[in-house]
Amino acid sequence: AHFLEPSGMLLGAFPQAQLRKLEASRPRLVFAYRASCFAYSATGAVYAACLPRLPTAFRSTVLCGGGWFAAALLLQGGLSFMNDAVATLGRPVPFSRRLWQTLDRLLAWTLTANAAATARVWAASAESTAHPALAPAMVLSFLTFIPSRLCEVWGRMVPFLAWHSAWHYVPNAIALAWILQTAAGGPGAGGAEAE
């Protein structure tokens, strides 16, 4: 059976039964997949905690202020968990799976677009003290979504879980390294020095 998603992409029916079997046969992989949802929340929490120590250019993003971006990242962890770790695995959810899927995807893609655009701005900032390879690495890490999506469409659930976990972990790990390096960095990185 096939259905047409709002994006217009033709997909096979999602194999939840196969994912449920993997909970028993590959519990560590399923655990890593579920836990990966909170990589967004970890990034949001660290960014919020580091905001006072970041240079001025790093206290906002292309779309919003830093506090709002941190809050959106915190929220994304919960939305991702409800969609990916609960509804996708066939567990009952309040309201509907479609609602959680829509909210997760809407915020995830908004955050991804914002992060990609912001990476260019932050990398170009004279206040940047992080390694220059982090900006392109973060943007390129978003490509982990492609094999994740293809594996989902093709019904290859073991590689789907691995790639989708990478889609959560890799960009967030790079963002965390960038935020922490910048917060600990050279001139202008301290609250008192920046004033």
Burial-class residue 193 by CB neighbours within 10 Å (0-12, 13-18, 19+).
Answer: exposed
Q: What pLDDT, on the 0 to 100 scale, is given for residue 96?
A: 87
- Look at residue 54 in the predicted model and tell me its pLDDT: 93
Structure confidence at residue 192 (pLDDT): 41
Q: What is residue 11's predicted lDDT score, i.e. its pLDDT?
A: 36
**With bands split at pLDDT 50, 70 and 90, how would you rate the model's confidence at 14?**
low
Instruction: Give residue 87's pLDDT.
Output: 86
Reported as a pLDDT band with limits 50, 70 and 90, residue 187 is very low
Confidence check: pLDDT of 12 > 50 = no
* Nearest residue to 162 via CA among 174, 173, 150, 172: 150
DSSP 2: E
Ramachandran bin of 96, using left for φ above 0, alpha for ψ from -120 to 50, beta for the remaining angles: beta
Average pLDDT of the chain to the nearest whole number: 84
Determine whether 132 is exposed, middle or buried from the number of CB atoms within 10 Å of its CB (0-12, 13-18, 19+): exposed
Least confident range of 78-82, 159-163, 178-182: 178-182
Contact 5, 153 (CB under 8 A): no
CA dist., res. 173 & res. 187, Å (int): 24
Tens-place pLDDT, residues 133-178: 887 887 788 888 899 989 988 888 999 999 999 999 999 998 998 8
Which residue, among 127, 29, 39, has the nearest Cα to 76 in the 3D structure? Answer: 39
